[in-house]
Structure 1
């Protein structure tokens, strides 16, 4: 989050659900219902504390009750509120896992060490993660599937990741089976 890099986006409040103040909730946690386990969350400005008191998973959505929100009108006022938590409150990631917040700002380098750009975002449109690289020079951002083939190494402590651009990945795959 701009201005407060120690905060991590964990969810977003959606539309009101029903008449008693419940909301639809988009959770970015591994288990969507776990968003309520982190305790009070903050809005993007850091001015509002939001405490999820109850969640229920339905086939179509995660529904949440928010402390102090008891009417549909109050729930509607929270629509599109992004929910953040302090990075220090999150558990350590497993050895082969990373928080998106930890990847943003890493330098992307080629296997031979040449700087390619900086990680500016990680997107997921439903078919897997895509890492966005802002190039070191001029040109458009590079969008690359975030896989072991295209990003074989990540070193958070060194502030870099190795990126094999798609053209190189495709060329090596074509060379492997002898077909073009």
Structure 2
């Protein structure tokens, strides 16, 4: 599990410098990518380090942005890989059938017959639908379960579990 507080949601990441004047490459994980700026200042994984940012323009794969006190290419490069978090209470409420990835990670996954299939380690997206990355006893390798209504009919956050009806061949 992560050391990040449950009160923080990862909304983006820094991918290094953009140009030579201290701008950073910003990758947004928000549904509306440009809204990441609305949550500034953002926090680092420690919940203490603050990143006040302003998007300067859209670029391939994200945005170019300025961060307060980052003025050189070297300073921007040093931030490569930093994940950016926003406090949960600053994010919009979601409809009943939508979830923040952070809320799914760690949930146990059962099949419709009640057999434990594994636990959600991560949520991946390779361009189509989200995939739940499952790990657990009896699994010799990572299993990627499509996060669709057909394959995952029930997500019960209060009980900390997911009921899945995996497509044939997934397990």
Q: TM-score range by the shorter chain?
A: 0.7 to 0.9
Deviation, 1:26, is 0.7
The aligned runs of 1:7-156 (5 Å cut-off) are 7-58=8-59, 61-137=62-138, 139-156=140-157
Q: In terms of Rg, which structure is larger?
A: 1
TM-score, with length taken from structure 2 = 0.87
Deviation, 1:48, is 1.9
Q: Is the 8 A contact 2:124 2:132 kept in 1?
A: yes
Structure 1: distance between partners of 2:124 and 2:107: 15
Consecutive unaligned residues of structure 2, counting only runs of 5 or more, are: none
Q: CA RMSD in A?
A: 2.1
Q: Is the 8 A contact 2:27 2:61 kept in 1?
A: no
Structure 1: distance between partners of 2:76 and 2:166: 45
Cα displacement string for residues 37-81 of structure 1 (whole angstroms, at most 9, x for unaligned residues): 112112223342111123422355311111122222221221221
Assess, with a 3 A threshold, how the Cα gap between structure 1 residues 48 and 5 changes in structure 2: closer, same or farther.
closer
Q: Is the 8 A contact 1:36 1:55 kept in 2?
A: no
Aligned length: 169
Consecutive unaligned residues of structure 1, counting only runs of 5 or more, are: 170-180
SS at match of 1:19: coil
Q: Is the 8 A contact 1:155 1:161 kept in 2?
A: yes
Higher helix share: 1
Structure 2: distance between partners of 1:113 and 1:5: 30
Structure 1: distance between partners of 2:61 and 2:143: 33
Cα displacement string for residues 4-38 of structure 1 (whole angstroms, at most 9, x for unaligned residues): 23222111111211232111111101111111111
SS at match of 2:16: strand
